[in-house]
Amino acid sequence: MENLFRFADNNNEDFFSRRCIWVNGPIIVGAGPSGLATAACLREQGVPFLVLEKEDCIASLWQKRTYDRLKLHLPKQFCQLPKVPFPEDFPEYPTKKQFIQYLESYSQRFEISPKFNECVQSARYDETSGLWRVKTVSARTEVEYICRWLVVATGENAESVMPDIDGLAEFGGEVIHASDYKSGEKYRGKKVLVVGCGNSGMELSLDLSNHNASPSMVVRSSVHVLPREIFGKSTFQLAALLMSWLPLWLVDTILLILTWLVIGNIENYGLKRPSVGPLTLKNKQGKTPVLDIGALEKIKSGDIQVVPGIKRFGYGQVELVNGETLEVDSVVMATGYRSNVPYWLQEADLFAKNGFPKAPFPNAWKGKSGLYAVGFTKRGLSGASADAVKIADDISQVWKSETKQQNKRTTACHRRCISQF
């Protein structure tokens, strides 16, 4: 699959070896669900590819940067990757362990062998050659890969967002991001401030409370909390069904009425609802509604305290915008994630400065000059799967027509050679 020309750097011969590798077919950056789904679809079409992954395993977000009790929050049929449904005996909402197991066997089935520990440092399109130049650094080697197609699959959650809050340096206690939180076990009896009330903030507060810690959850603005199920039916599934018949605003109204019937008025518990409906907000700002799996009950019972925004931290305490001061042992920043694309991709057409494609779904998967984006739809795993199928179809069309022409040329050449004998 690869031609390899190796050339040593004269100055640092012992330290660094530099290589230049031609890749036949596309390079996929990232071996998360999006990268694996694209690779699998390409494999089915007979197109060779190379997957570059900065960590030492597939699905590093799921394996290394998520908490123990995590489950998929949508029913399994909405989270499966192309071509392979989840095993029948998996529950409706598979655990993180089951999801990783599924991804491992998916990867084996399609013979996807990523190059691990290869962090892409830069990628740029070379107008003169019409090729992508992708530089990686691993232990002692710098490699430049050259290819025709580049698939960006580094994810919406590549970097943890750690806000710089006034006085945080003076706090003195442990401060971690949600991506480093595993379980509430070690927080037993501790007062923990959870900053943020997205799906992470809500579930970590629940986990802390289940482990007899005392969580206070910072809610600085507003949040849509929906039950994960409405009258036994998945809220997501219900919304998807309604959306095929009704306009978004009406689906939002129906969802909010049903939510009120199931969980009551969340404003009674210190949570403010946004003025825009949950699906409209998701569409406009990409803000995911929280699917409640128990945190709300804990808020109602007072086991999770809801507090307003932070003014500043002090030694072992936090001052809130309402003037109240809380004693705190530890802080968990459930403050979200960002894309890392702007750090390494030198391109300004498909991707905006924030590392997300400029065009909205479903038009954000393809750029110019053989550039593709998979998994940047703000629609989780189902969005990634839809992208992967389109990207593989697009690349394979060109691949197949060029291979056919090449085969024709080779056959004609063989015929000429044979006739000369």
Ligand X SMILES: NC(=O)c1ccc[n+]([C@@H]2O[C@H](COP(=O)([O-])OP(=O)(O)OC[C@H]3O[C@@H](n4cnc5c(N)ncnc54)[C@H](OP(=O)(O)O)[C@@H]3O)[C@@H](O)[C@H]2O)c1
Ligand Y SMILES: Cc1cc2nc3c(=O)[nH]c(=O)nc-3n(C[C@H](O)[C@H](O)[C@H](O)COP(=O)(O)OP(=O)(O)OC[C@H]3O[C@@H](n4cnc5c(N)ncnc54)[C@H](O)[C@@H]3O)c2cc1C
Which residues of this chain interact with ligand Y, rule CB under 6 A?
29-35, 52-55, 59-61, 66, 70, 72-74, 79, 119-120, 153-158, 200, 340, 344, 375, 380-381, 384
Find out whether 356 and 373 touch, Cβ atoms under 8 Å: no
From 12-20, 34-42, 195-203, 348-356, span contacting ligand X (CB under 6 A): 195-203
151 binds, among ligand X, ligand Y, none (CB under 5 to 8 A by kind): none
Q: Judged by CB under 6 A, does residue 198 bind ligand X?
A: yes
CB of 231 vs ligand Y, minimal distance in Å: 22
Which of ligand X, ligand Y, none interacts with 288 (beta carbon under 5 to 8 A by kind)?
Answer: ligand X
Q: Rule CB under 6 A: is residue 206 a binding residue for ligand X? A: no
Among the residue ranges 132-140, 296-304, 334-342, 391-399, the one whose residues contact ligand X (CB under 6 A): 334-342
Q: Which of 53, 55, 118, 203 lies at the binding interface for ligand X (CB under 6 A)?
A: 203
Pick from ligand X, ligand Y, none: which does 79 bind, CB < 5 to 8 A by kind?
A: ligand Y
User: Which residue is at the shortest CB distance from ligand Y?
Assistant: 32
**Of residues 25 and 355, the one with the C-beta less far from ligand Y:** 355
Site string for ligand X, 65-84 (x = CB under 6 A): -----x-xx-----------
Q: Indicate whether 217 belongs to the interface with ligand X (CB under 6 A).
A: no
Judge contact between 193 and 163, C-beta under 8 A.
no
CB distance 332 to 193 below 8 Å: yes
Q: Please, what is the minimum distance in Å from the beta carbon of residue 69 to ligand X?
A: 9
Q: Work out how close the CB of 144 gets to ligand Y at its nearest, in angstroms, rounded to a whole number.
A: 14
| Complex with ligand Y: residue 35 or 227, whichever CB lies closer | 35
| Torsion sign, CA atoms 210, 214, 217, 223 | positive
- Provide, rounded to whole angstroms, the least separation between the CB of residue 210 and ligand Y: 17
Calpha distance 93→115 (Å, rounded): 31
User: Which one of residues 199, 259, 377, 385 is an interface residue with ligand X (CB under 6 A)?
Assistant: 199
Structure tokens at 55: 């960590």
Q: Which does 197 bind (CB under 5 to 8 A by kind): ligand Y, ligand X, none?
A: ligand X
Query: What is the distance of C-alpha 368 from the center of its chain?
Result: 23
Pick from ligand X, ligand Y, none: which does 55 bind, CB < 5 to 8 A by kind? ligand Y
Residue by residue, DSSP assigns 153-217 as ---TTSEE-----TTGGG--SEEEEGGG---GGGGTT-EEEEE--SHHHHHHHHHHHHTT-EEEE
Nearest residue to ligand X by CB is 198
Amino acid in position 405: Q
Q: Pick from ligand Y, ligand X, none: which does 107 bind, CB < 5 to 8 A by kind? A: none
Q: Cβ closer to ligand Y: 63 or 214?
A: 63
| Cα–Cα nearest to 371, from 402, 356, 399, 350 | 350
Helix (H) or strand (E) holding 61: helix 60-64
Contact between 334 and ligand X (CB under 6 A)?
Answer: yes
H or E element at residue 420:
helix 380-420
What whole-number distance in Å separates Cα of residue 221 and Cα of residue 251?
23
- The contact pattern for ligand X, residues 124-163, with x = CB under 6 A and - = no contact, is ---------------------------------------x
Please list, in sequence order, all residues whose beta carbon lies within 8 angstroms of the beta carbon of residue 155, skipping any fewer than 6 positions away.
Answer: 30, 32, 34, 61, 339, 375
Q: Which is nearer to ligand X, 21 or 197 (CB)?
A: 197
Structure-token pair, residue 217: 């959850």
> Is cis: bond before 82, omega within 30 of 0?
no
Cβ 119 to ligand Y, closest distance in Å? 5
In contact, 106 and 87? CB cutoff 8 Å = no
- Amino acid type, 227: P
Structure tokens at 71: 């489950």
Residue 214 CB contacts under 8 Å (≥ 6 apart), including other chains: 190, 191, 192, 208, 305
Interface residue with ligand X among 235, 335, 340, 396 (CB under 6 A) is: 335
Binding-site ranges for ligand X (CB under 6 A): 70, 72-73, 163, 165, 178, 195-201, 203, 218, 220-221, 288, 309-310, 334-337
